[in-house]
């Protein structure tokens, strides 16, 4: 694609990077076949190719974009299916993040939109505040019937029962070796920590069972992805710096050998820290080290000699989260682990299409998110499985809100198959 940035503009490394990405796009159209919003809406401006053109025009003009441009960029799920499909190697992830930062700094949204976005980026990353809001929401659940759709649907995503979570997942089980062969840092996270602390517990158990200790490093917390993908980069960078400082110190001291994530959206963000801080002399080296040592739990478990201790469990439909299969290029590893543990694993038809969760997308774009959820659930029903497994809390929450099947994290099934408790909701 031809661009017209001035030489002065290109002195800015961020503009130069955006220019390099834009010029790789040859408008071949391969991305349109796998873009969820284009598949649903059929609008060229709701395809990666169309959005790339809008972003080019927006960045070249430098000023505030119009509402139409913002609408089509906001409709992007950042599912990154187009990145997997693109034969030209267009790094759409970095381009859409750059566009959202530009919109956040130049475009004035309606007051109600600004309030909602402020609430999402203030409450969700703070696990204590979010936990309080969940409790209040459950008490006030009846009022959801009279609220606008994008607010009332929040109650549908919030579980009616809340398990008390601990800052440190349970890992000290007497039957395991007191001197583990490996020690890794577990991302404490924010949303998952409140909605499903059982995922961290299952992660710690299954790793401890295979001589790998998990520990939460003081100072680590939210990865910053929710804020970053909404254009609030300054807030996201503060979260990222706290994590980098905490993990870098432990990595350099040899106290941990890697950082493990069990929320694929967070893992994709952490693996991108090196890119985000690449031009910052104070943080470039540290962030790159952290990114290199970040592993999804499926990557870590694939390197261990995991083996089942129970009879072959039920058939499992595996939903490959977009941030895992497109963001981290990890699609086969979780399925191989499930199969190794005796599960009969079935893929979801149209598995490359997003379920509609996409971070805060199902709150900010409820109409499209509901259409994608309905399509995903229809495809899951075709598999006739007993359980649905996924590697991301956003997908799990989204799918469970409309599914009659239990939706659990992949690591919970691996924990169960190797001697852990049966995941909640799974039938006998």
Q: Is the residue at 74 inside a domain?
A: yes
**For position 169, what pLDDT does the model report?**
44
Residue where a domain stops, chosen among 82, 106, 130 = 106
CA–CA gap between residue 52 and residue 57 (Å, rounded) = 9
Q: What is the CATH classification number for the domain harbouring 332?
A: 3.40.50.1860
CB atoms within 10 A of CB 229: 24
- What the block records as the tokens of 78 is 């950042």
Q: Is the residue at 164 inside a domain?
A: no
Residue where a domain stops, chosen among 45, 80, 106 = 106
Residue where a domain stops, chosen among 56, 75, 106 = 106
Q: Is the residue at 286 inside a domain?
A: no
Angle between the N-to-C axes of helices 366-381 and 149-157, in degrees from 0 to 180, rounded to the nearest 10: 40
CA angle, corner 273, sides to 54 and 268, nearest 5? 70
Q: What is the CATH classification number for the domain harbouring 40?
A: 1.10.1060.10
Phi, psi dihedral angles at 332 (to 5 degrees): -85, -30
CB atoms within 10 A of CB 161: 6
**For position 426, what pLDDT does the model report?**
86
**For position 153, what pLDDT does the model report?**
64
User: 43: domain range?
Assistant: 9-106
**For position 59, what pLDDT does the model report?**
94
Strand spans (E) along 17-147? none
Q: Is the residue at 203 inside a domain?
A: no
SS3 183: strand
CA–CA gap between residue 53 and residue 397 (Å, rounded) = 33
Q: Is the residue at 369 inside a domain?
A: yes
CA–CA gap between residue 373 and residue 353 (Å, rounded) = 10
User: What is the residue-level pLDDT of the chain in tens, covering all 428 positions?
Assistant: 898 888 988 999 999 999 999 999 999 989 999 999 999 999 999 999 999 999 999 999 988 999 999 999 999 999 999 999 999 999 999 999 999 999 999 999 999 899 999 999 999 989 888 888 888 777 776 776 666 666 666 666 676 655 554 444 444 344 455 567 899 999 998 889 888 899 999 999 999 999 999 999 999 999 999 999 999 999 999 999 999 999 999 999 999 999 999 999 999 999 999 999 999 999 999 999 999 999 999 999 999 988 888 876 789 999 999 999 999 999 999 999 999 999 999 999 999 999 999 999 999 999 999 999 999 999 999 998 989 999 999 999 999 988 888 999 999 999 999 999 999 888 77
**For position 172, what pLDDT does the model report?**
39
Q: Is the residue at 241 inside a domain?
A: no
**For position 175, what pLDDT does the model report?**
44
SS3 178: coil
Residues 6+ apart with CB under 8 A from 142: none
**For position 149, what pLDDT does the model report?**
63
Q: Is the residue at 224 inside a domain?
A: no
In the chain, how many domains are there?
2
Q: How far is residue 277 from each of residues 233, 274, 285, 291, measured CA to CA in Å?
A: 12, 6, 9, 11
Q: Is the residue at 349 inside a domain?
A: yes
**For position 296, what pLDDT does the model report?**
97
**For position 178, what pLDDT does the model report?**
55
């Amino acid at each position: 694609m031809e661009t017209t940035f001035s030489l002065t503009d290109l002195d800015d490394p961020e503009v130069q990077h955006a220019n390099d990405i834009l010029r790789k796009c040859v408008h071949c159209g391969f991305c349109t076949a796998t873009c969820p919003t284009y598949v649903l809406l059929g609008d060229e401006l709701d395809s990666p190719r169309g959005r790339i053109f809008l972003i080019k025009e927006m960045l070249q003009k430098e000023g505030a974009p119009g509402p139409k441009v913002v609408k089509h960029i906001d409709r992007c799920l950042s599912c990154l299916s187009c990145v997997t499909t693109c034969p030209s190697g267009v790094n759409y992830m970095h381009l859409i993040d750059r566009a959202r930062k530009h919109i956040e700094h130049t475009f004035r949204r309606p007051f109600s939109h600004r309030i909602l976005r402020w609430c999402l980026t203030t409450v969700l990353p703070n696990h204590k505040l979010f936990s309080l809001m969940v409790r209040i929401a459950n008490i006030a659940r009846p009022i959801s019937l009279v609220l606008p759709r994008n607010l009332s649907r929040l109650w549908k995503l919030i579980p009616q029962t809340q398990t008390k979570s601990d800052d440190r997942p349970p890992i000290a089980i007497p039957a395991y070796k007191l001197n583990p062969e490996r020690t890794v840092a577990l991302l404490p996270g924010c949303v998952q920590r409140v909605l499903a602390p059982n995922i961290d517990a299952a992660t710690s158990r299954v790793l401890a069972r295979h001589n790998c200790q998990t520990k939460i490093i003081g100072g680590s917390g939210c990865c910053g992805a929710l804020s970053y993908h909404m254009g609030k980069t300054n807030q996201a960078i503060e979260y990222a710096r706290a994590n980098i400082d905490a993990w870098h110190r432990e990595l350099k001291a040899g106290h941990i050998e890697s950082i493990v994530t069990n929320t694929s959206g967070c893992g994709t963000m952490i693996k991108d820290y090196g890119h985000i801080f690449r031009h910052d002399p104070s943080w470039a080296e540290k962030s790159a080290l952290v990114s290199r040592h970040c592993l999804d739990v499926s990557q870590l478990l694939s390197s261990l000699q995991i083996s089942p201790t129970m009879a072959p469990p039920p058939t499992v439909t595996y939903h490959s989260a977009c941030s895992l299969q497109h963001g981290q290029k990890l699609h086969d590893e979780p399925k191989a682990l499930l199969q190794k543990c005796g599960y009969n694993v079935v893929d979801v038809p149209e598995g490359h299409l997003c379920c509609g969760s996409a971070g805060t997308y199902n709150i900010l774009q409820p109409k499209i998110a509901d259409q994608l959820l309905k399509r995903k659930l229809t495809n899951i029903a075709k598999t006739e499985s007993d359980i649905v497994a996924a590697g991301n809390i956003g997908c799990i929450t989204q799918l469970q809100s409309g599914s009659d099947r239990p939706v659990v994290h992949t690591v919970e099934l691996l924990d169960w198959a190797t001697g852990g408790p049966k995941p909640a909701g799974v039938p006998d």
